[in-house]
A and B are shown apart, each in its own frame.
Chain A
């Protein structure tokens, strides 16, 4: 029993995994078997059998914790003394947390703005070129790697001694006859926040590019041709035809990426751990809850995140509905 719970060799770990999968397959087979057993299973019976596992999991793992977290956001450090809105007052008044909020706003605006912008420009530029597939794959590949790996990639670029950024910086300075030492990029506020944001843009541009490229390809050929016959040049075509035609896709991409920016955790955690004035809500939640053991404050940070994300999702759903009606 203990080995199943705490396997410690590669072999027992894999065995535990196989066991878990078999157990799950067994339960699922039983569910299907029981559903199929009665001669005439009523619809609600099928629904109960198919939906119960999911509903239980979601209630246990999402619904109940959310309620508990909202509750503990009104409690103090260890969750025993009610403090009213004190945690929220702390978040919205103390300079340290105002910095966190400001950074989060920067992330939520700059990440979607630039990754959509770059993705769009790139999608238009490589559209119908000879190496389109390859060129797209280059931009898209960061999507596959973890934010942790991406952070390491860019931490290396930002390295003061052997980083590419430092080399460019001192190189350019030398062109102007200046001999300078590159700054400690990640420790220099406020530029460090922008350097971290760029990593997130780097990660998300491929996503934007893919969606927008598909939207561009869906623009009817004859419209493009007509615009060309009307004498629109490349730039005019981009602003008067392409952009208006793919507006819904742009909106969807922007909101999706904005949610990514809001939830930015891995990048900040791995690159600066939120030090030197770079923290964001998602990271501060982790620091407060798990490192400073301040459950109340951590909970309120999570709730603030929750409240910010709701309008983004509602907007997104609204847009999807609209594009679905068109279809």
Chain B
């Protein structure tokens, strides 16, 4: 029985499934609603300009056309400038994230290449040592690192944030990229060697081009991770507009301005725009990276 099902047969199975299980559809609709409606509600709220109304009536009431006059961009204007100045934090998030993605991936590519294609003594032991660094929770490293940064006079600068995100991202980056790199056919590398190419040339001309999809998928991973980070930011960034990212500022606003939804709602969406856009455009790579991390190994 190895033939593939024809399209009609598939359609038949599909309709049979559907008809036989109204409960199944109901459950999947409920799940889909619970997973989307809360965000939708906050999105609607972020455009409600009437601050008094936000704290008095539910957002769903504005869906009635008679309440549409409430909508406007006022909340976004308030949080982007003035006291809240989310614009500056938005720039910080960018400035933190780009080197925080580029540097660990580059270092990890070199390391992964050495582990996968360079023969040297102690290779396996070293790889296992690096691999097992994934176990260390960030919390375990924070206080000693902070002490060092303070001693160097570098705390609350972008430099230590770049350094920290690089360090914390490295073990997993090496691990994932190494997995991909091992799948490169041995003959390709051997052929290049026979042609007289050294390791640097093989790395740049043979391996790197083949690694592009893997690099893309890990880059998205690391991007989301750094952009969305709160712990590293709270510990090392210092809570000022000079260095702190959006997450840090938002978390602060939730604490101090409890239920000022007219500020929190647009704030949350400003923080979401970039990762959601990255996610939607590069979904395919992201999913591939995730599957490689979870199922391969």
Contact = CB atoms under 8 A, between A and B. Distances in A.
A145 B28 contact: no
B170 interface: yes
Interface stretch (B64-72, B76-84, B112-120, B210-218): B112-120
Interface string A143-182: 1111111011111110101111001000000000000000
Interface in B18-54: 18, 20-21, 24-25, 27-28, 31-32, 34-39, 41-42, 45, 54
A241 interface: no
A253 B291 CA distance: 10
B14 interface: yes
B125 interface: no
Nearest to A248: B295
Nearest to B25: A125
Contacts of B290: 207, 210-211
A143 B220 CA distance: 12
A60 B167 contact: yes
Nearest to A17: B95
A94 interface: no
B118 A145 contact: no
A43 B55 contact: no
A89 interface: no
Contacts of B271: 145-146, 148-149
A161 B24 contact: no
B68 to A, nearest CB: 18
B124 to A, nearest CB: 12
Contacts of A249: 294-295
Contacts of B261: 156, 159, 162
A141 interface: yes
Given A47-B120, A54-B111, A126 B106 contact: no
B1 A226 contact: yes
Contacts of B28: 122, 125-126, 135
A265 B230 contact: yes
A323 B141 contact: no
Given A54-B107, A65-B144, A306 B294 contact: no
A24 B103 CA distance: 7
Of the candidates B21, B60, B88, B145, the one having the most CB atoms from chain A within 10 angstroms of its own CB is B145
A269 B229 CA distance: 12
A293 B102 CA distance: 34
Query: How many A residues touch the partner, as a band?
Result: 35 or more
Given A162-B59, A167-B58, A265-B231, A156 B276 contact: no
Interface in B134-176: 134-137, 139-145, 148, 154, 157-159, 162-164, 166-168, 170-171, 174
Contacts of B132: 313
Contacts of A319: 297
Contacts of A64: 144
A57 B59 CA distance: 49
A32 B110 CA distance: 10
A43 B168 contact: no
A80 interface: no
A72 B171 CA distance: 25
Contacts of A159: 259, 261
A306 B91 CA distance: 34
Contacts of A44: 120-121
Interface string B193-208: 0000011110110000
Contacts of A100: none
Nearest to B287: A210
A165 to B, nearest CB: 9
A24 B105 CA distance: 12
A55 B145 CA distance: 16
B188 interface: no
B158 A16 contact: yes
Given A64-B144, A252-B295, A50 B58 contact: no
B110 A51 contact: yes
B95 A141 contact: no
Interface in A245-302: 249, 252-253, 256, 263, 265-266, 269-271, 273, 282, 285-286, 289-290, 295, 298-299, 301-302
Given A221-B4, A225-B5, A6 B287 contact: no
Nearest to A44: B120
Contacts of A144: 224, 272, 275-276, 278-280
Interface stretch (A7-15, A101-109, A188-196): A7-15
Given A17-B99, A24-B106, A205-B35, A214 B291 contact: yes
Contacts of B200: 32, 35-36, 46
B120 A62 contact: no
A72 B140 CA distance: 11
A61 B145 contact: yes
A121 B27 contact: yes
Interface in B238-286: 242, 247, 250-251, 254-255, 259, 261, 264-265, 267-269, 271-272, 275-276, 278-280, 283
B137 A61 contact: no
A155 B137 contact: no
B14 A161 contact: no
A57 B114 CA distance: 16
Contacts of A122: 28, 31
Given A149-B271, A152-B42, A206-B35, 4 more contacts: A13-B92, A126-B28, A153-B41, A306-B137
14 contacts: A14-B91, A20-B162, A46-B200, A58-B133, A121-B31, A125-B28, A128-B17, A145-B271, A146-B229, A156-B265, A221-B4, A252-B294, A305-B139, A313-B135
